[in-house]
């Protein structure tokens, strides 16, 4: 197991380049198997979720080469349609292969996905969307078994804008016969990225209006090269790190237009945020104020993935902050660990009430999920003394090298490993 030790008390200062988007990369990798040929993805983050997805691609028959953020996928010889249970159980995003395998192979065996502890994330919307396209999906021994004689265009209506279900519907519809129209689709930037990727491969996907996507099925796709956008969640994490430490940072390549609600919250807290084509400049030297109330919501609302980093920053703000979580029922797991460091956080159901304190103190804490682990590192940066964050394997699922990045901003960190018996 991994640990990161942080010596806190130094404001973040300097420049760091933001990695490619995790949440965009995973469905795009799944989408590559729709094409019987070559796909090149540039600026792909070297994170464990990507590495596990590559393992899945190789199990399905793809030839993959990954070097210096450049990923080449040759999917011309895909023959398998079953994802091994040990791979699928490691990460939630394995479910995204349902749509692409049905589109390419007309059948798929997917293990119930794992890899996350923040909520139930039911698969009913995925199933309903793909069944509307003509799939038959059953459960067998912990696997979802999906088959079709041929997917056909349909009208799909989502009662909730699920990101994963929207992605699966798009992937299933690309090679389907006829036209598919999706109503109530998720609007996250990662959906736009997937559509842009598929259109560059020859798909015919049109955004009609808010929440409505039209897909005209095509017979085949083509070779392509695609450059991933920067990760808005990583950028937001480092932004809240600057606020927690009262620092000044430049987030190179940060996608400011995708971060409107995050930037609004940062400004409410007293931070100055200036956008440019090359990134975001954040001056948080006077970011002492509470944002008072923040509610997570589907895009363009405040992202649930940044709720935990916000908890850290709000713990050091003057006054009280209420945070309401509307996406995942178990996303306040980080609160108990922050309390070990002196944070005053009370959780009731899907709401957390944070009373700001003058300082946090170093402690030994445990990451219990990806974004919560990053939030604990931010707390260590702001705390007096030394903090050790354990179970850092969670963090490497979404951050290419969080220690490297934070060292670029002047942070003092060490890394190591420990056995379960210690």
* Model pLDDT, residue 119: 45
Token representation of residue 272: 């100055």
Q: Are 156 and 182 in contact (CB under 8 A)?
A: yes
* Model pLDDT, residue 139: 87
DSSP 361-401: B--EEE--SHHHHHHHHHHHHHSBSEEEEE-TTTGGGT-S-
How does pLDDT run across 280-326, given as a tens digit for each residue? Answer: 999 999 999 999 999 999 999 999 999 999 999 999 999 999 999 99
Evaluate if residue 114 carries a pLDDT over 90. no
DSSP 23-35: HHHHHHHHHGGGS
Question: Around Cβ 252, how many Cβ atoms within 10 Å?
Answer: 15
| 143 vs 398: which has the higher pLDDT | 398
Q: How confident is the model at residue 273 (pLDDT cuts 50, 70, 90)?
A: very high
Evaluate if residue 121 carries a pLDDT over 90. no
Question: Around Cβ 120, how many Cβ atoms within 10 Å?
Answer: 8
Q: Are 78 and 63 in contact (CB under 8 A)?
A: no
* Model pLDDT, residue 330: 72
* d(C-alpha 141, C-alpha 172), whole Å: 24
Average pLDDT over residues 231-237: 98
- Before 357, cis peptide (omega within 30)? no
* Model pLDDT, residue 56: 95
Q: Are 26 and 33 in contact (CB under 8 A)?
A: no
* d(C-alpha 148, C-alpha 174), whole Å: 15
Give the distance from CA 148 to its chain's centroid.
Answer: 30
* Model pLDDT, residue 143: 87
* d(C-alpha 294, C-alpha 153), whole Å: 39
b/e map 52-91, b = 16+ CB within 10 Å? bbbbbbeebebebeeeeeebbbbbeebeebbbebebbbbb
* d(C-alpha 40, C-alpha 225), whole Å: 5
Dihedral of CA atoms 280, 284, 286, 289 in degrees, nearest 10, equals 100
Token representation of residue 319: 């006054």
Percent of the chain past pLDDT 70, that is, above it, reads 97
Average pLDDT over residues 190-202: 98
* Model pLDDT, residue 118: 40
- Global model pTM greater than 0.85: yes
User: Across 124-128, 262-266, 415-419, which has the greatest mean pLDDT?
Assistant: 262-266
Average pLDDT over residues 394-411: 97
Q: Are 87 and 112 in contact (CB under 8 A)?
A: no
Of 69, 59, 63, 67, nearest in space to 90 by CA: 59
For the annotated catalytic residues, the residue numbers are: 116
Give the distance from CA 190 to its chain's centroid.
Answer: 9
* d(C-alpha 248, C-alpha 90), whole Å: 37
Average pLDDT, the chain: 95
Evaluate if residue 334 carries a pLDDT over 60. yes
Distances (CA, A) of 405 to 167, 316, 399, 408, 411: 30, 22, 9, 5, 9
* Model pLDDT, residue 87: 83
Q: Are 2 and 392 in contact (CB under 8 A)?
A: yes
* d(C-alpha 180, C-alpha 324), whole Å: 35
How does pLDDT run across 44-103, given as a tens digit for each residue? Answer: 999 999 999 999 999 999 999 999 999 999 999 999 999 988 887 677 678 999 999 999
| 116 vs 372: which has the higher pLDDT | 372
Write the CB contacts of 92 (distance below 8 Å, at least 6 apart in sequence). Answer: 113, 114, 115, 116, 121, 164
Dihedral-angle region of residue 323 (phi above 0 means left; psi in -120 to 50 means alpha; beta otherwise): beta
Evaluate if residue 113 carries a pLDDT over 70. no
Evaluate if residue 410 carries a pLDDT over 70. yes
* Model pLDDT, residue 221: 98
Dmax over CA atoms of the chain, in Å, equals 63
Q: How confident is the model at residue 117 (pLDDT cuts 50, 70, 90)?
A: very low
Average pLDDT over residues 245-274: 98
Average pLDDT over residues 262-285: 98
Evaluate if residue 274 carries a pLDDT over 90. yes
Residue 282, SS3 per DSSP: strand
């Amino acid at each position: 197991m991994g640990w990161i030790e942080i010596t806190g008390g130094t404001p973040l200062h300097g420049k760091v380049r933001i990695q490619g988007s995790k949440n965009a990369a995973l469905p795009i990798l799944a989408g590559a198997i729709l094409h019987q040929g070559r796909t090149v993805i540039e600026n792909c983050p070297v994170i464990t979720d990507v590495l596990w997805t590559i393992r899945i691609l190789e199990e399905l028959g793809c030839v993959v080469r990954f070097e210096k953020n450049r990923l080449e996928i040759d999917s011309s010889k895909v023959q398998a349609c079953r994802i091994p249970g040990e791979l699928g159980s490691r990460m939630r995003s394995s479910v995204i292969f349902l749509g692409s395998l049905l589109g390419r192979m007309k059948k798929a065996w997917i293990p119930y996905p794992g890899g996350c502890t923040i909520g139930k994330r039911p698969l009913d919307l995925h199933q309903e969307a793909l069944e509307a396209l003509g799939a038959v999906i059953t459960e067998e021994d912990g696997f979802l078994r999906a088959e079709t004689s041929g997917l056909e265009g349909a009208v799909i209506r989502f009662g909730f804008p699920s990101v994963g279900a929207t992605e699966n519907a798009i992937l299933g519809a690309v090679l389907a016969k006829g036209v598919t129209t999706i109503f109530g689709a998720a609007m996250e930037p990662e959906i736009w990225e997937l559509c842009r990727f598929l259109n560059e491969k020859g798909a015919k996907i049109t955004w009609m209006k808010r929440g409505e996507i039209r897909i005209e099925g095509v017979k085949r796709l083509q070779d392509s090269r695609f450059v991933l956008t920067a990760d808005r969640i990583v950028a937001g994490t480092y932004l809240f790190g600057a606020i927690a430490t009262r620092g000044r940072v430049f987030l190179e390549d940060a996608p400011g237009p995708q971060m409107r609600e995050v930037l609004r919250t940062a400004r409410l807290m007293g931070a100055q945020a200036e956008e440019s084509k090359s990134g975001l400049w954040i001056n948080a030297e006077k970011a002492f104020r509470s944002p008072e109330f923040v509610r997570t919501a589907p895009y363009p609302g405040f992202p649930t993935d940044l709720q935990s980093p916000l908890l850290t920053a709000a713990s050091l703000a003057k006054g009280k902050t209420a945070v309401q979580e509307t996406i995942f029922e178990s996303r306040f797991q980080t609160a108990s660990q922050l309390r070990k460091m002196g944070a005053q956080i009370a959780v009731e159901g899907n709401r957390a009430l944070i009373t700001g304190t003058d300082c946090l103190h170093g402690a030994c804490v445990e990451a219990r999920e990806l974004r919560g682990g990053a939030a604990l590192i931010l707390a260590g940066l702001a705390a007096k003394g030394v903090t050790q964050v354990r179970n850092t394997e969670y963090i490497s699922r979404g951050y290419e090298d969080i220690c490297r990045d934070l060292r670029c901003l002047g942070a003092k960190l060490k890394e190591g490993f420990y056995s379960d018996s210690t």
